[in-house]
Structure formats: structure tokens, C-alpha cells
Amino acid sequence: MTIKIPALACLLLAGFSVIAADNIATLRGDAALHEQGKATALTPVENKDLRRKRNSPMEPPTIPHKIDNYQVDLRTNKCLTCHSRKRAADSQAPMVSVTHYMDRYGNFLAAVSPRRYFCQQCHVVQHDSKPLVQNTFKDIDELLQKQGDPR
């Protein structure tokens, strides 16, 4: 049994070096898995405060401004200083959806639900970059328009 484990380890390491030799494009660049690669630079974050069109009906909206150093932890959520129900009118920022104030049973809460409190688990900042794949999504309004909307 003790002879099999080192042999298995050698086979795994050999497999990793074969994969690394394929030069698969990753954020690490073309560095081997056991080496420190130079990270690929991302495009800068957009800071235009303009909402983007969504690519699918259930896609969470992207964040149209920088959020560097925004504190979001158990005690503080910097996003809610502008996007909460109380502050949205003064800040002219869109209020978080009413679904964020509901618990898992559909009951409305006085504050943002703990399930929806950490904004960046769904929402991301916008980058001005080319799409990696073509998007062919068409929303219902676009489909109805092509079919001669009967409404």
C-alpha cells in the first residue's frame, strides 16, 4: 500500500505538467500550475452611473460605479447609505428591490433580509470589455414586436 501512494502522486504531478504544457488561457497567463503567473490586467471599472441593459430577465443589475473600499460586513453595508428605502429619494439612487426585504417564506421585513444583505454575492461592477461569447437573448417585448404584438 505504501508503494502505491507515491506512485499515484507521481502520476498526478505528471498529469498536471501535461495540462500546463497545453498553454490554456487563464487569468494566470501561461505559467505552469506550480509557478506564480503574472495576472492578466482587467479593464478598468466603469464609473458612469448609467444602468446597463440586462442580458436575461433574471440577471441582477450590475453596479454602474466604483465600489473600492466599500465596507460590507455584519455591522455595516455602505451600499445601503444610498440604496435603502429611507435614502433612495435623497440620493436619487435606485432603491433595492422589495424582494430584498422578504424572508424565505415571503414575509416582508423592516430591514434588508440577511439572505440579500451581501450585495456583491449577486451584483458586480461594470467593466467596459468585449463579450467573450455572443449573446442571442431577446426579451419578451422584442419577441412580441417581431410577431406583431396583439396587445
Binding-site residues for heme c sit at 65, 79, 82-83, 100, 119, 122-123
Binding region? 65, 79, 82-83, 100, 119, 122-123
Q: Give the separation between CA 31 and CA 130, rounded to whole angstroms.
A: 24
Three-state SS across the chain? CCCHHHHHHHHHHHHHHHHHHCCCCCCCCCCCCCCCCCCCCCCCECCCCCCCCCCCCCCCCCECCCCCCCCECCCCECCHHHHCCCCHHHHCCCCCCHHHHECCCCCECCCCCHHHCCHHHCCCECECCCCCCCCCCCCHHHHHHHCCCCC
